Structure formats: structure tokens, C-alpha cells
Structure 1
């Protein structure tokens, strides 16, 4: 019996090739989009799952408030890890990670910068799952000047993973090199890790590790391995008393409304639910997971609705078939099973086609989403059962309504030609069209708002000029020659100015510290810069003057931004006021106030910043040369100038690769997640609209078929084609208009909430809704008008013959 159903279904689908193609096409696109989003969501939610103890690992965070400065950091002070372990028996082990930014290693005659280097406590192997190919994880990092590297790193430097006992030459500033003994090789970390690590250096080698102060600096990423069945919330509740035990000034801070707090983030929540300062890597956003999952569900529903509409549109052609079958003795259940089998068959074909389409689109999807998704053997472990499930669920979901609708035809009425009246005869189909276009209009509005916000961010005045600013990285390679190289750049035609500093408005590096002003402690950024910083970046002075290296007094001078002046109580006039900084409370006098400039993402408000001038001598004494040379360009011959700059770099650095970027590109990188979201939104919106139009196409065809006799009679009575098309299209336009009214408030609420995540944002303009509405109306009109024109131009004699 079942075999007969499917044999009949195959014949029916083959006989109606156009209907079959459109139905399978809609389902294929909907399922392919769902699969792509499922791949994306599974990838995002699998971060850090490779850790066998992942459910017991927590990161310690630090929240602080000093006057108006509030920070939420993923870091802690050096001694927090040890103090927590000694005070709380619930903690089994602790580990600290400290990024070693821009560390360089000797590779033959070449100097190679490694960006994924971390100082680690020896317990890193007890907490994280880092399978070791060579070496003993219990002793690998217990000695100073030892290092564990990834297999990728071993192949890169030695062309083999058997490197135990060999030496890596670490090249420091001012040629202070050190030999690191390789004591272990670990497997490459999975891509789904919230931090990257190719080099794990012994923490004992870093001087910060021995800092005794619990509150002065917060550079370390601290992780806890809790004992089984420990309630981390109960442990977290004990932290305030713990801090008061070690910091006697906490109670005084709390009286003034300030605080220092510690809290915990579960390891599995870090990637999607943590957006603190100083994260170890670029995290995702759980909101986008919800958005993409919702879009996947909606598009799948659109595909199923499209299937229903196309099936009911085809019902007029099959009404007599149903009537004849019933007269010959077919039961309603038999007819239902027949139509369900057709739906299942199309669902199966669509599912297979969707897998192939998703596989073909995967490289393109990876490009716009920034992922490296791939179909692997492990993928098919869950994909093959999913195919069966999808075929059954979608087949039943999409085919049930047409099956019960068609099987309900009464034989006598059908054979007399009295099938259901068009669009007016079925409110459910009207609701389906409204639902489809509500989603489509919602997606159009959302996409327009996303791109409007991106355009706003790209063109907003940031308080500095990022255009045509070249950033030459790794300047500390040049040591004492850094300032000489800067002067060489200034002599090149097309270079207007240049500045040396470790801190750029579009860079990730920040130095947050504390200063005393007006007898209060204030948290602020503290940036060493040179005398050309403001001029090169076009940062405007609101009051006072710029640094002058000819004045010896400027060695203890600072320039602050307007936000710092307000928070320190100097809003009226900050010039010549003093602030104190450092453990020795060195006095600095304020010589200028710059207008506020955005040095963080536009998601965040501008915070206080203090600029201090450092001379070449001071940089040498500190042993930490500037990382970046920002060069302001003004030339139409950029390739020629870039060639000259690279040539100069090679002459100065010899073995160091020329590492550079442009400031506007770095700025755009701050909003890469939003840019990817915009591209994905365009892709999904286009597909959703296409599927919705297929459904509308089907309903228009259904209506045209059901009103054939009416059209013929009206033409006989003198109606022209334009009148008939207008009459037929009016009901559909009403449905699209209702969909517009439903979608607009929902889109406004949802997108307004999304915009709340940006401190600086564009308001939602009325033209966004008008554009989305007009676009939906035009698409709907173009979709249905072809069907109605074809029905209206048929000879009325032929139309009446149908009856």
C-alpha cells in the first residue's frame, strides 16, 4: 500500500513538473538557510567544550568604580589567584594567563612576531585540556625561561614536532635576548577556544607575577577549577568579605559609593556572554545567536507556508481527481496519505538538494561570517539522522494542510465545479500571506537600520582624523633607531607628520590606571605619547597648549580630555592644576585639555584619558619602546610612497617583516561583527523575500484559477484588462498592507533595543519604514501581476468553457 502511494506520488509530481519544481525550490532554499545557520550556531556554542573539566572552570573578573569611572574587566591583580586558593577550600586549583604582546623569536636570519603568546602558571595543564605530544605537563613550566609550544609552532620553526630540549631565542627590546628551553609540545588548540596559544611561557620569568599588591594593577586573566558540586554563586557571595580582609580601604570606598568587586564567569559563557574590557580574544554575542536562530525558524516556516500555498494553488487542477477517487471508493484517510506521501517525497528531494546547496554555499557563507565551517565526518554523525527528521517533520508540517484541505472536497460539489472560492473563501491562506510578508518587511527594516547604523559609525566625527594614517607596527624592533626612522619618514615627499606611541585610538592596547586629583582617586587611561601626537591625529585642543620638548618642565606635564577634566572636578579650568600618579605619587601639571575623541568602540561612552610626553631617553630607561609609528600621508601616489617606506623599514630593521595597517581599516575592524551581521542580514532577507514571493505567486495562481469564470463573465460585460488586474490585485495589496502594519511596530521595538547597545547611535528614521513598505508592495505587485494579466487576457470563450 505504501509503495503504491509513493508510486502514485512520483507520477503526480512528474506530471506537474512546474508545480513540483517551485515547491522543491522553496523548500530547498529554506532548508539550506536553516542548515547554514545550524552550522554557525553549533560552532558558536561549542567554544571551550573541548575542556574535560569545562563545567568546573570559572574566570575571575574585576569590577571597579572610582568616582565617575566604572570598569568591567576580565582581569585581576597578580596575587588574587593565590589568595583565593588559600582562603576557599572549594577551589581545587588556580591558573593565571598573561598575554605577551608582540613577542619576537629568531628564526634563522629572520625575526618573527608571535601574537599568540601567553605567560602561564604551571597549573595551566591541570585546568585546561591541552594534550601534550612531548614533555611532562607537571614540570614543563616550573622553571624560569622554559616554554611549551604548539605543534604548529614547532613545525614552523623546526620543521618537526620532536623539539624537546631545543632552544627558542626570544628577542627583547634593546637587544636583550633570552634563550627559552622547549619543555613540551602541545596539540594545536581548537578554533573554538576563547583564547589562542601557540607559545606558553613560564610565569616565573615575568616580573609582574611577583607583584604583591592586590589592587594596584589588573593584568592577569585568572581561572579557577572548582571542586565537584561547588556552587559558584555561593562562592562568589563570599568575595566581598574576602576583599575587605586584604584591602583595608574597601569600607571607606563603599562609603563614598565606590567599589572593587570580584565575580565569576563560567568558562562556557565566556565566548558568547562576556563583553568585558581586556578579553583574551574576540568574543561572540549571544544576541546574534538568538537572532540567527529566529531567522532560521522564520525562513523554514516561510518555506512551509510557501509549500502550502503552492499546493492549494494547484488544488483546482486536482479537484476533479479527488472527486473521482472518492466516487470510486477512496477514503478520506487514503487521500490524506496519498497527499502526505507526495509531500514527504518532495521534502526528501528538497532536503537532499538543501544539503548540496548548503555545502556549495559554505565557502561564501564562511567569507561573510568570518568562520571556517566545514562538512566533516563528525558533521554527518548528526546530519544523517537530521535528514530523516527534517524529511518527516517538514513533510508533515508542510503537507498536512494541503492534504486535509484537498481530501475534504465533496465529490458532488467538485464534479459540479463548486470548489472553494478563491482568496475570500479561506482566511487561513490570507493569514499565511500576512505572516510571510510581515517577516519579510521586518527583515527589510532590520537590514536597513543595521546599515544605517554602520554608515553612521563610519562617517561620525570621532574627534580625530583616521583617514590616510599609516600605522607601522613593531617599532620597538628598532630600539634607539625608532626616532631616527621617524625623522626619515618626515623627509619623504607625501608625509606631513608622524608620531610614536604605544597607544592609538583604533588599537586594542589600553593602559588603565589611577590618579589623584582634588583629593580623590580617579580611574583613567594613562598614555605615553610624543610631542607630535595631537598634530598627527588632528586631535583638537579645547584649552591650553600642546607638548613642547624644548621645555624641560613638560617632562612632568599632562594633557587630559574633557571627560577627565569633568570627572576630576576641573570642568571650569583645568590648566595648571596638578594630579598625582604612581606609587610615589609623582606630581604632574595640566597644560592642556583636548576635545573628547572616541578611542573605544562607539558602543561605549568616552572615558577619561591622560596623555603624558615621554622623551627618547625615558623610553630607553623604561626599556619599552613605542610599538607604533603613525604616519600622516598626503599624496595621490600612495603605492610609490608605500614602496619607499617599506624600503626604509628594511634598511633599519634588516630581518623584521614590514607589518603595517591603515587606521581607517583598523577602525572598521572594531565593527566587524556588525558588518558581518549586515551582510548575513542581506542574504537572509533576500532569500526570505524570494520564498515569500513564491508563496504569493502560488496564491495568485490559485485565485486566478478559481475565478476563471468570473473573469470571463466580466470581460463579456465590458471589463478591460487593467480593471480586471486591479480588481484581482486589490485583495493581495490589502494583505501586504496589513503585514506592513504588523511588521513596523515589531521591527521598531526589536531594532531600537539592538541600537541601545551603542552609546553613539543613529535614530530610526521614518524613511526606513516607508522604503521597506514600498519595497514589499512593489515586489508583491510584480509577483502577482504576471499571473493576473495572463488570466485577464484569456479569451472569455475559453474561460467559460472551463465551466
Structure 2
């Protein structure tokens, strides 16, 4: 019986080659789109699931409230929090802290020196809590004690080649940043105690090396910071992870954290600012990548809304493909009705016919799946470039995702063939063989409903693509409030001690300005486009109970004029005023936050923050230090003439390549011990929009494919309609109807269906995209014309599809059509 079904299925495929090709192409496109999007979604959902204890690991989030208003969500917390939680709550089995460890790492024996940033100071407990397979060394002791570090396989190969790195030493020059660990020019020798497998990329952490946390503790002690890295409840730059005991109830622990915060922070003797509150929240490890977008995130995380949008697109596209198959199968019902009638006369039961048609559906879908898998090998690189991910090719899905895809595939293959099977098998042989079936309208409303569903999905995707493109264009083309163009940024030099640095830097700066091609040079603690990590609670002098979280940017004398920040009141920092080291310049938002009515009112007032007292000597206009996804925050500029984290060079237009080469040569003369790393500020700033741009490209591509597949379904229904109305067309032509009139008659019903789809799709698109736009601090407002354009495109495509199908029939000889009847 199975062999007979197979023979009949292939016979029907070869008999209707055109329909078979359209079916195969539509299903293949739908399946490959669904498969690739499933792979993308599965990849995004897989982050951090490779840890054996992932279901018991959480990270602490710290929320800062000012006068009951949420001011900040921070991914980092205080060094003392983890230990206190383990001591006070039996649910907490262990804890570990991670502190970013940017270092200038070198092996003089191999003449290798590189600035490394993908590493952390880590408690020894990290190796017990997280899955980090060792290739060499003992994970029980590798991070136990000061001046120890472990390397990834690639890092070990980079610094030691094929030599055994265990027990060898590397020289480290730490980079002084916003936390006081290293001094400029300070170097240490670290022992390599372990080598681990390259850390998986599907993690919210990117780790190439780890340094023992005790190292940071000792370095701070040497610098006079005592036990700041162990006992502080004020310095919050550590990521704190908790390992819960088996069976522990996270909700119960969460309910006790407000009282914990009150005991240690909010009601402590040192916290006299009653308007300021801290709260802690538990974030499951596997949720961090998609659901956490807080201050000081370790890496740029994904977006759960984007993932769910693309998952929805995957389902929509493959459903459109199956609807297309159903409509095409129905369109062939006239052609196959005589086959059904003859087979029934010869004794075939309805069950036999249903099994035959379902088998044909499964065969067609299986062939399409095989073709889709084959095509994925060629299309995967393109999709990877669009998404920025390295996704597998073929049918590579892990565990439940593969099971889910296969379940969806077989369910779709069965259901898409079920309706045609029941319709075709239900024909009465007498009616079919007498030709009475040709005037049947059975199932026409279902077919029209399927077309409406297809175009509803297509219009939704078209409208969504337009809105995403508008939002990205809006962000990229907004006035940022500063001059971003022709700016070359260099990573700062850290090899010189503070006593000699100023002389070397001034010589370096003068040589740059005299070499030509460089208009201005300025230094800062952070570069525009990068999150300012140095925040401090700040208040007006004399006001005791009001404090606000503000972000501090250390700059030299040239920063504000070099970037063209508009001075609203007061003046810039100047060498003519020796006391400017105790002065501050605020942005507009900081002035409003502190309660001043105008920039002029704030001048010569004093603030108290992380330093004792700062006089406000100027106010500058707000500017977007980061992308427009984030609101402008209160910002304080403080004078740091020796700041050296980043150098920003304003270039003349012209020979940019030659200027960069000249800058590199000057750098080598003045800072030979420091690597020359550079980037252009406009490119760096635009990277903040990369994820949204990629989302727009993916959305647009699949919207195009979805409407293409929908056109196949429309082609099938219009073919069915033309065949049904062949006699009517012939009569109308005999009575004088023109081709133009006939095309209008044949297409108006389908245009009506698309318009109905537009009415359904418009509010649905608005709701979905408005929900997506809520994550942006600065956003567009969805205009009515978006839906008009999406609907017009859908109507135009529908008309062209129907006209393509109907043109030949409308131009045919009516005598021939009527004789055929």
C-alpha cells in the first residue's frame, strides 16, 4: 500500500510540474526561514545554560531610589554583600565576586605585549560555582592566593606558544580606572596557575583570563585603601553571584532582601541621606542575557523582545507557506476531481483517498525540508552577517528546540494536507463525472480566510520593517549636541608614572599639533559613546537630606571646546584659574536635578559628592553621551589635567590614512612601552545601533520572503478562480467586455481580501511595534502613513500577482473557451 501511495504521489508531482515547483519553492523558503530563525532564537535562549549549576546561580542587581523615584538599575553591587548574604541566609550556599581587570599583559621572553580587557579579578569560589573545564592546573587552588592567574587556551598559546605555561610568570601593568587598584606605571609579576578551555561565546561574560580576587585586595591595601575590596558598602563595581542550595526558594530569599538592605545600607549610621535607598534583586543566571540591561553590564546583552519578535516571524512564515500549499492544492481540485471520481467508481474508499492525499502532503513537505537543509549551507553565511551570530548550518538544533521544530514541521505537514484531503475525497463520483462539480463554491470562505491571514501577516511584517528603519534612522540622524566627526580616539598610555607623565604627554601633544592634520588633542576618563561608570551621590552644599546619583567625567582643559559643547553659562576650565581642580561644570540635566531654576542661578554654588566640595563654574548644554536608546543623565565634568584613559584627536579633512600613520610614529617615540590602539569616534558611536540595524535587516528580509510566499497562495486561489470563471469570461468577451474590464472583475475580490487584511493588520502592527519602541528613551511616533504604505504595497503586489495569472485567460479566444465548455 505504501509503495502504491508513493507511485501515485510521484506521478501527480510529475503531471503538474508547474504547481509542484511553486509548492516546493514556497515550502522550502518557509522551512528554511523558520529553521534559521529557530537556530537564532535557540542560540539566544541558550546563553549560560552550559553551566552545570545554572539553575541554582543568580546575580544580584542593585536598584537605587531617590525620593522614591527609581534612579538607576545596576548590574554591580558592593564587595561586602555576598559574604553578608551567605552568613545571614541559609538559602545561599556560596558566592563569588567578579571585578573587571583591564591589564597590559606581557611576556618579555617572547616579546609579546597586549592590552587585555576580557578578564576579571575573581574569587576562588568562581571555579566551583561556574563550569570552566581545565586543561592544565588544579581548579581547587588556581585562584587561591594573590598574584595568580589562569588563561584560556588561546591566551596561553598567544603568550607562551607551544611551551607549558604552568608555573611561568607574566608581567602585568594594571590600568588605573574608576576604581583605585593600580597606580600608573605600576607593574607586578603574576604566576600562571591554570589553563582552561576557551570560554563559550553564548555567555553574558566574555572571559579570556581570570586573576585571583585576593590580588585586587592586596593591591588596594598597598595603595592605602585598606580592606575596601572586602568590606566596602559604598564602592559598587563588583558583579556578585550567588549559588543557592538545592531546593532553595528564590522567591522566599527575595522577599527578605529589602530588610537586608535596610539593615546594612539604608538605615546604617553612615547613610544619613534618608531620601536615598538601595534594594537588591535576584536575576537568574540564564535570564541575564535577554532580560538584564542595567548600568555596568559586563557585555552588550540581547533583547528578549527582539527574540520573541523573530520567533513569531518564524511561525508566521512557515504557516504562510503551509496556507499557500493548501490553497494551491485546492486550486488543483478541478483537475483532480475526475481522478477521485474514477477511483471511487473502481472501489477506492474515502479513507484510502485521505491517506493518499496526506501522504502526498508529507512527501512534498519532506522534499521541501531536504531542499531547505541543502540551501541552508549556502545561505547561512548571509544570515550570520545579518544577525552578527555564528549559527550552525543544516538541521542543527539542540535538544528541545530540534524536537519543537520537528513537531511543528510534522504537524504543519499533516494539517496543511488535511483540508485538501477531506475536500477532494468527499467528491461524489456521479456529480464529478457529470461535470456538476465545476460550479461548486464549497470551501471558498475558508480559502479567502487563509488569504486574509497570509496578507495580515505580510502587512504586519512590512509595517514593522518600516517602523524599525524609521527608528534607527531617527537615532542616527538626531543632533547629538557635540561634534563627532573626524575624531580619532587613542587608548591612553599607562606605562609612565604620575611624576613624569605630564612632561611626556605635553611633548606628545605638541608634536601632534605641529605634525599637521591634527587640529586639537584632548584627554578624558571616558570616551563619548561609552558608558560613564564613575557615579557618585551628589547634593547641593548645605542641603543635608537630598542626594542624587550623578556621573562624573574627568577631562582636561580642551575637552569642552574640542567637542563643541555649547556653554550656556559661566566658563570652561582654564589654566588661569589654579583653583579649577576644585571646580565643576554641569550639564543642563544636572542643574535641573539639583533644583536650580536656571544655569545662571547655579553659577558659583557648591556641590558635595565624591570629593568634599566643588564650585560650579559653568553649565553646558545636554548632549547624548550614549545612543538615543538611553535618556540623558545628570553629568558633572571635573578637571583632571593628567587624565589619560582616552585621547581624542580632532583631525583635518584630507589624508586620514597618512595622518593615522603619522600619529602612530609620534606615539612610538613618546610611548614605546604602550600598544597603539585607535578607533574613529563616529564608527564607535554607531556601534550602539548595530543590534537595532541588524534587527531591521532581518525583519525586512523575512517580510519580503513572507509576502513572496503569500503571493504563491494568491496565485493558487486566482488560478482556481480563473478556471471556475472561464465560461463567464468567454461570455463577457462575446458581449463586448474589454481586457481591462475583465482584469478588474477578476482582481477586485482579491483586492478586497487584502484591504480586509489591512484593517486587521494595522492595529495589530501598531500594538506590537509601540511595545517594541517603549524601550527607547527617544523614539518616533508611529504615523498613519506607515500602514497606508504597507497596505498599498500589499495591494499592488496582489494586483500584479492576479493580473499575471489572469492576463492569458482574459486575452484568450472566447470561442475556444466556450467550445471547451
Q: What's the TM-score bracket when you normalise by the shorter of the two chains? A: over 0.9
The equivalent of 1:105 in structure 2 is 106
**CA gap 1:416/1:66 in 2 versus in 1, 3 angstroms:** same
Moved over 6 A (4+): 251-255, 380-388, 422-425
The equivalent of 1:145 in structure 2 is 147
The yes-or-no answer on 1:548 pairing with 2:558 is no
Instruction: Return the offset for 1:428.
Output: 0.7
Describe how 1:286-297 pairs up with structure 2 within 5 A. Answer: 286-297=304-315
TM-score w.r.t. length of structure 2: 0.93
Describe how 1:602-751 pairs up with structure 2 within 5 A. Answer: 602-616=628-642, 625-654=643-672, 656-751=674-769
TM-score w.r.t. length of structure 1: 0.95
The equivalent of 1:795 in structure 2 is 813
Measured against aligned partners, the alpha-carbon deviations of 1:444-463 in whole angstroms (never above 9, x if no partner) come to 00000000000000011121
The yes-or-no answer on 1:176 pairing with 2:176 is no
The equivalent of 1:622 in structure 2 is none
Instruction: Return the offset for 1:423.
Output: 7.5
CA contact (8 A) 1:69 1:523 kept: no
The yes-or-no answer on 1:577 pairing with 2:637 is no
Instruction: Return the offset for 1:33.
Output: 0.7
Aligned residues: 793
Instruction: Return the offset for 1:391.
Output: 5.6
The equivalent of 1:399 in structure 2 is 417
Describe how 1:284-683 pairs up with structure 2 within 5 A. Answer: 284-375=302-393, 379=397, 389=407, 392-419=410-437, 421=439, 426-477=444-495, 480=501, 481-517=504-540, 518-519=543-544, 520-572=546-598, 573-582=601-610, 585-616=611-642, 625-654=643-672, 656-683=674-701
The equivalent of 2:282 in structure 1 is 264
Instruction: Return the offset for 1:379.
Output: 4.7
Query: What is the CA–CA distance in structure 2 between the aligned matches of 1:412 and 1:714, rounded to whole Å?
Result: 30
The equivalent of 1:621 in structure 2 is none
Describe how 1:226-237 pairs up with structure 2 within 5 A. Answer: 226-237=244-255
CA contact (8 A) 1:44 1:284 kept: yes
Instruction: Return the offset for 1:526.
Output: 1.1
Q: What secondary structure is seen at the aligned counterpart in 1 of 2:742?
A: helix
Instruction: Name stretches of at least 5 consecutive residues in structure 1 with no aligned partner.
Output: 617-624
CA contact (8 A) 1:423 1:703 kept: no
Q: Which moved more, 1:732-741 or 1:597-606?
A: 597-606
Query: What is the CA–CA distance in structure 2 between the aligned matches of 1:59 and 1:244, rounded to whole Å?
Result: 20
Describe how 1:201-216 pairs up with structure 2 within 5 A. Answer: 201-207=211-217, 210-211=227-228, 214-216=232-234
Query: What is the CA–CA distance in structure 1 between the aligned matches of 2:782 and 2:34, rounded to whole Å?
Result: 29
Measured against aligned partners, the alpha-carbon deviations of 1:513-570 in whole angstroms (never above 9, x if no partner) come to 1223133322100111011111111111111111102210211110011111111122
Q: What secondary structure is seen at the aligned counterpart in 2 of 1:322?
A: helix
**CA gap 1:95/1:420 in 2 versus in 1, 3 angstroms:** farther
**CA gap 1:312/1:561 in 2 versus in 1, 3 angstroms:** same
CA contact (8 A) 1:348 1:391 kept: no
Query: What is the CA–CA distance in structure 2 between the aligned matches of 1:18 and 1:376, rounded to whole Å?
Result: 27
Q: What secondary structure is seen at the aligned counterpart in 2 of 1:500?
A: strand
**CA gap 1:385/1:514 in 2 versus in 1, 3 angstroms:** closer
**CA gap 1:690/1:161 in 2 versus in 1, 3 angstroms:** farther
Q: What secondary structure is seen at the aligned counterpart in 2 of 1:147?
A: strand
Measured against aligned partners, the alpha-carbon deviations of 1:208-267 in whole angstroms (never above 9, x if no partner) come to 593165432101001111111111121122222223333364699799553111111111
Q: Which moved more, 1:464-473 or 1:671-680?
A: 464-473
The yes-or-no answer on 1:16 pairing with 2:16 is yes
Q: Which moved more, 1:203-212 or 1:493-502?
A: 203-212
**CA gap 1:450/1:102 in 2 versus in 1, 3 angstroms:** farther
Q: What secondary structure is seen at the aligned counterpart in 1 of 2:489?
A: strand
Q: What secondary structure is seen at the aligned counterpart in 2 of 1:49?
A: coil
Query: What is the CA–CA distance in structure 2 between the aligned matches of 1:401 and 1:587, rounded to whole Å?
Result: 78
CA contact (8 A) 1:561 1:594 kept: yes
Q: Which moved more, 1:148-157 or 1:255-264?
A: 255-264
Measured against aligned partners, the alpha-carbon deviations of 1:631-683 in whole angstroms (never above 9, x if no partner) come to 12231322222222223223333364432111121221112211110011011
Measured against aligned partners, the alpha-carbon deviations of 1:328-376 in whole angstroms (never above 9, x if no partner) come to 2222222212211111111110011111122321111111111111249
Query: What is the CA–CA distance in structure 1 between the aligned matches of 2:496 and 2:694, rounded to whole Å?
Result: 37
Instruction: Return the offset for 1:158.
Output: 0.8
CA contact (8 A) 1:531 1:548 kept: yes
Query: What is the CA–CA distance in structure 2 between the aligned matches of 1:338 and 1:376, rounded to whole Å?
Result: 29
Q: Which moved more, 1:659-668 or 1:634-643?
A: 634-643
